[in-house]
Structure 1
Amino acid sequence: MCRTRTATMPFLFPTPCSATVRAMILRLLSLLLALSALAAPARAKDELVLGMNQSPSTWNPLISAMLAKSLISNMTARPLTAYDANSRLVCLACTELPTIENGKARVIDLPDDGKGAGKKGIEIDFELRDLRWGDGVPVTVKDVAFTIDVGKHPLSGVASSDGYTRILKVDAKDDRRFTLTVDRVTYDYNAMGLSLLPAHIEKPIFDANPAEYRNKTAYDTDSTNPGLGFGPFRKVEIVPGSRVTLERNPTWTGQAPHFKRIVVKIFENTASLEANLLSGNIDYALGELGLSLDQTLAFEKRHKAKYDFIYKPALIYEHMDTMLDNKLLADRRVRQAILMAIDRKAISDKLFEGKQPVAEGPISPLDPMFDPTTRRYPYDPAAARKLLDEAGFTDIRSGVRYNAQGERFSIDMTTTAGNRVRELVAQVIQSQLRQVGVELRIKTDPPRIFSESLNRRQFTGLAMFAWVQSPGGVPRTILKSTEIPSAANGWSGQNYSGYKNADMDRALDAAERELDVEKRRGYFADIQRLYAEDLPVLPLFFRVDPFVIPKQLKGVVPTGHLNSSTLWIEQWRWEE
């Protein structure tokens, strides 16, 4: 018989007695705990840890074009317009997309500028969404006007000033409504991907010394200032080259994000990125800048049960810029010979299982403006040798060509360090060029240094990297002669090769201004023809973005173009 205690207050549990009773009590407690666990909702995952394989060189959205920067900045701010995953142009920081059809865009006659009457322009009406910078200051037309002023200034150091200089004026209707007057009518007149700068923070810095703005911007000197963003998240910690921590932005007026915190860890080595994904140190490697394609193909064979795999054909153009100031590369026959000496199809087949198609130019076969009749350069080392002979490199000593002036055909190729695929491709190209008498020295730089070298045109031979493009975009910034970066224009522009061709300039301008689709297709054909003849840039592949998404992570939608999946980060969620 069990003994009990008498007291004025009952005990919650009986006093110890027999082993049988104790066992019954334990079973009852276990059952109650199990039922409680079933009844309780699953605890939400508060923190998402992401990984990527590059580190930004600057956080200012206008300076330097780096995918690594935009992937993170897309979580902290939004451009005025962007292309969604279906390649449709949509408003992000605006309320309604202006079109000629809805009356919010109008073709107008511009005043005579002394160069002849009859010039047409366009007025475009925008209204900003109700947005607030992270410090509570409203996003207004003042921010729009200031951003355009920075983009126009010849010494500001923006990645490309062309899109800003064509805006003649900003007419403010009130704090959120404004009209842009643009100096030309283009087929993509309403694609205004302006990344806004906070005038209340950046304007005093810019006004003090525009030429020093790129070095003094608060985006780099005070990077976690909440007033630098208005997106669903804000940066709260930055450890350069290591990690970036973001937390929910309390002033965000859009859909509330599912995660309270996002940590982006940076591994400037794709092998380390894979190891950290497998160990659980990161939840997800960003598909746009994560595992390489060859890694993903092998990874899928081993871990298909835990991840969803998406191979997204993308408007990403892997290529080699040629430094046309280098007299060894100035003759287009030399550039044609180099391209024919590289077996690009074999590289794609062996490294990428044929998933990355060989590129013949900057326009993807996925683009409606692609011309299938564009000249192609198949692997033909015999033809390459013939062209090199014609270009004057006939003397061969110890397997390397020399010209009549005794100059050795030896050039550098620079690419990003830590990217295993690029390093492998570079080694294959080095070996294949050696077979035709061209000596190639491979140099790898950390992405931040590589990016700065490109911006200043400091590479001497070839530079291997990728461009991410928008759907139907005219490749103006990479091929127009006015887009060559120099000290005089504050290193603005992305024509790093230094390519100049008046016919190309005319074709680029005409393609952009032509509203009729079929006529525009003809100008695009001219662009591709001229490119294939001159080869200022040597095309390699159109990339496929491999997305390795854990099955619990929902809402990630690959886009395959310039506007990455992180622009819709508030839709990402974790479901156990």
Structure 2
Amino acid sequence: MKRYKLFTAFALAATILGASAPMAQPDKSQLVVGQLQFLTNFHPLIQVNNTKRLQVNYGLMPLTAFNPDGENICVLCKELPSIENGAAKFVDNADGTKGMAVTFTLLDELKWGDGEPVTSKDVAFTLKMANDPNIGFSPFNPWTRATTVEIIDDQTFTLHLPEVTPSYASWDHILPEHIEGPVFTENPDSDSYVKQTRYNTDPTNAGLWNGPYLLKEYQIGTRLTWEPNPHWPGDKPKLDKITLSYRNNSSALVQNLLSGEIDAVPVSPGGISFSQMLDVRKQRGDQLAYHTTPGTNLERIAVNLDNPILKDKKVREALLLGIDREAITTVLFDGQQSVADGLLSDRSSFYNNDIEAYAFDPEKAGTLLAEAGWKPGSDGICTNDNGDRLALELATTAGNQTREQIALIIQDQLKNICVEIKPSFVPLQEYNGDLSRRREFSGLIMSSIRFSPSTSPAIALATDRIPTADNSWVGNNFSGYSDPEMDKALEEFSEALSPAAQKDAWAKIQSIFSQDLPMLPLYFYAEAYVSTPDLKDFRMNTYDPLMIWAKEWRRE
């Protein structure tokens, strides 16, 4: 603890905990959720990250999602297509290759919040936008897997995929053609469309939302208010209002949670830190409920492989060996966040037990740096024969206390192996924009990524997922990693349908990753929320945002 200089942070937390006022009497029909990082781009399919998904999924539902039991289910459709039920079929392409035809039927009486029906035409519009090279949609469950859609009737449509893929039954949000169609026509490029989309210029337009809740109030930087959608055809929401109330820092969230001004708060990303949750539970545990489940969300450091220093594998390996990840999770998370040795948690059925684990080894790290031509200088920082210093910037999101603490810890740890780390805390919009997606960082960036059973690891590792102007800056391959062997393994995964074939493909991908280290894995988030004890049917989810099931939440 002394080594990492965290006493000040914990002392501040203790002061706040001790000074908080008694909890106010709650309104059982409402829920106030504390949040950090107000979004300036609310479009559900552009520049998507975990924080955005936690904020828009109250009112906009994906076509399918993984439920808290880890099962892929229909959200807006009647039945999940499969090879077994005949709704998913293999087809012969004109060039002799195999593709797929996948048929969905939308829920009866499914409507947008303004009363307009959600139809197959909305799906066709979404697919048209996704495949426009001038518009870059984020690739979680990308619509670009389909090239065309056959509209059978208003509710039924068939997606035509040019390739066989194991994720054929997992699809993201649908956009309202009657609202966004004219905007897209008038703004056919990414920059102008993002500025003019009604999700950013008129977010309380009921026609933008198709879920159990509608966005009724939008105050920039202050709050979002969600109220029941009268046109939602499923079970009606149990709460009359859910308000997302924003604070400038996580300490304020803790204070307001304990005073009763807010009723629930996520535990990073977008909320309080895990260490703050542990402090609250130790001192005021009987006043609140703690919803936790082991996570699959990987906190990682992307490295800019265009940087000559980081292009050297020995340097990347030395950096990972010089970071005491076990100490980080012990100090900050009471050991409750598991150290990541690769892309997948050992809880995953696809986890490869044979990958190399880079345990903390500063001596070996120093040897590798010496082999790479770096020797300690007079000030303790390594230099090479050209006189270049081994100095790297580490950027992450401002206001995220956990990441800011980790950046400072890494700075301290890597100094011991003669590496100078310069932490940089960047506002979320800038981080998710030019810094990461246009790869304008010079050294290292820290953020998280999740590989659900339907998400291909290609989004962060494939050559064609390196964000460039040619692909409208889409993809999470921020490192700029390109390797033919990895691309081949990713292609094998994309064609693997059986669990055994998928496991084999994932094993290769993990093995190549551990050899190349295009990213530095840190740990896996445990999914967590803190709330008032009267919040019921609040089920944590590992793969998709729990807000998809917010209609079930109630207060006793």
Compute the TM-score of the two structures, normalised by the length of structure 1: 0.89
The SS at the match of 1:133 is coil
CA contact (8 A) 2:397 2:427 kept: yes
Q: Could you tell me how far 1:286 is from its partner in structure 2?
A: 2.9
* 2:310 aligned to which of 329, 332, 337: 329
1: CA distance, partners of 2:514 / 2:297: 18
Q: Which residue does the alignment assign to 1:245?
A: 225
1: CA distance, partners of 2:388 / 2:26: 69
Q: Which residue does the alignment assign to 1:297?
A: 278
Please tell me whether residue 567 in structure 1 is matched to residue 548 in structure 2.
Answer: yes
Please tell me whether residue 153 in structure 1 is matched to residue 132 in structure 2.
Answer: yes
- In the TM superposition, 1:527-538 aligns within 5 A as 527-538=509-520
Q: Which residue does the alignment assign to 1:182?
A: 161
* 2:38 aligned to which of 24, 48, 55: 55
Q: Aligned letter for 1:60? A: H
Q: Could you tell me how far 1:285 is from its partner in structure 2?
A: 0.8
Q: Could you tell me how far 1:53 is from its partner in structure 2?
A: 2.3
Please tell me whether residue 497 in structure 1 is matched to residue 476 in structure 2.
Answer: no
Q: Aligned letter for 1:48? A: L
Q: Which residue does the alignment assign to 2:82?
A: 99
Q: Which residue does the alignment assign to 1:121?
A: 99
The SS at the match of 1:72 is helix
2: CA distance, partners of 1:218 / 1:324: 37
Q: Aligned letter for 2:503? A: R
Q: Which residue does the alignment assign to 2:459?
A: 477
Q: Could you tell me how far 1:505 is from its partner in structure 2?
A: 0.7
Please tell me whether residue 164 in structure 1 is matched to residue 143 in structure 2.
Answer: yes
Task: Summarize deviations over 1:46-83 as a string: whole Å, max 9, x none.
Answer: 32111122222311111011222222221112111100
CA contact (8 A) 2:290 2:528 kept: yes
CA contact (8 A) 1:476 1:508 kept: yes
* 1:316 aligned to which of 292, 297, 302: 297
Task: Summarize deviations over 1:124-164 as a string: whole Å, max 9, x none.
Answer: 11001121111111101111011111111111132239833
CA contact (8 A) 2:272 2:401 kept: no
1: CA distance, partners of 2:454 / 2:251: 34
2: CA distance, partners of 1:401 / 1:43: 57
Q: Which residue does the alignment assign to 2:182?
A: 204
Q: Could you tell me how far 1:518 is from its partner in structure 2?
A: 2.2
1: CA distance, partners of 2:414 / 2:376: 16
* 2:208 aligned to which of 228, 252, 258: 228
Please tell me whether residue 356 in structure 1 is matched to residue 337 in structure 2.
Answer: yes
Q: Which residue does the alignment assign to 1:144?
A: 123
Larger gyration radius, structure 1 or structure 2:
1
- In the TM superposition, 1:397-416 aligns within 5 A as 397-416=378-397
Q: Aligned letter for 1:55? A: F
* 1:84 aligned to which of 47, 67, 82: 67
Please tell me whether residue 391 in structure 1 is matched to residue 369 in structure 2.
Answer: no
Q: Could you tell me how far 1:454 is from its partner in structure 2?
A: 1.3
Task: Summarize deviations over 1:446-487 as a string: whole Å, max 9, x none.
Answer: 222221121221211111111133136431101111001112
2: CA distance, partners of 1:161 / 1:206: 22
Q: Which residue does the alignment assign to 1:461?
A: 443
Segments of 5+ residues of structure 2 without an aligned counterpart are: 1-24
Please tell me whether residue 214 in structure 1 is matched to residue 194 in structure 2.
Answer: yes
Q: Which residue does the alignment assign to 2:13?
A: none
1: CA distance, partners of 2:373 / 2:149: 55
The SS at the match of 1:75 is coil
2: CA distance, partners of 1:352 / 1:284: 20
CA contact (8 A) 2:141 2:454 kept: no
Q: Which moved more, 1:158-167 or 1:445-454?
A: 158-167
1: CA distance, partners of 2:498 / 2:106: 30
1: CA distance, partners of 2:153 / 2:456: 33
Q: Which residue does the alignment assign to 2:399?
A: 418
CA contact (8 A) 1:99 1:105 kept: yes
User: What number of residue pairs does the alignment pair up?
Assistant: 527
Segments of 5+ residues of structure 1 without an aligned counterpart are: 1-41
Q: Could you tell me how far 1:445 is from its partner in structure 2?
A: 1.4
The SS at the match of 1:210 is coil
CA contact (8 A) 1:157 1:214 kept: no
2: CA distance, partners of 1:207 / 1:495: 30
CA contact (8 A) 2:166 2:454 kept: no
After superposition, the Cα gap between the structure-2 partners of 1:84 and 1:255, relative to the gap in structure 1 and judged at 3 Å, is same
Q: Which residue does the alignment assign to 1:66?
A: 49
CA contact (8 A) 2:490 2:505 kept: yes
Please tell me whether residue 443 in structure 1 is matched to residue 424 in structure 2.
Answer: yes
Q: Which residue does the alignment assign to 1:134?
A: 113
Q: Aligned letter for 1:95? A: K
2: CA distance, partners of 1:509 / 1:392: 36
RMSD, aligned α-carbons: 1.7
After superposition, the Cα gap between the structure-2 partners of 1:150 and 1:397, relative to the gap in structure 1 and judged at 3 Å, is farther
CA contact (8 A) 1:367 1:471 kept: no
Q: Could you tell me how far 1:260 is from its partner in structure 2?
A: 1.6
2: CA distance, partners of 1:229 / 1:163: 20
Q: Which residue does the alignment assign to 2:3?
A: none
Task: Summarize deviations over 1:338-387 as a string: whole Å, max 9, x none.
Answer: 00011111111122111111101111111110001111111111111111
2: CA distance, partners of 1:473 / 1:508: 12
Compute the TM-score of the two structures, normalised by the length of structure 2: 0.92
Q: Which moved more, 1:243-252 or 1:564-573?
A: 243-252
Please tell me whether residue 283 in structure 1 is matched to residue 266 in structure 2.
Answer: no
2: CA distance, partners of 1:73 / 1:405: 50
Q: Which moved more, 1:437-446 or 1:396-405?
A: 396-405
Structure 1 vs Structure 2: percent identity of aligned residues? 37
Q: Aligned letter for 2:354? A: T
Q: Aligned letter for 1:125? A: T
Task: Summarize deviations over 1:4-46 as a string: whole Å, max 9, x none.
Answer: xxxxxxxxxxxxxxxxxxxxxxxxxxxxxxxxxxxxxx99723
2: CA distance, partners of 1:560 / 1:163: 20
2: CA distance, partners of 1:207 / 1:488: 20
CA contact (8 A) 2:292 2:540 kept: no
The SS at the match of 1:328 is helix
Q: Which residue does the alignment assign to 2:15?
A: none
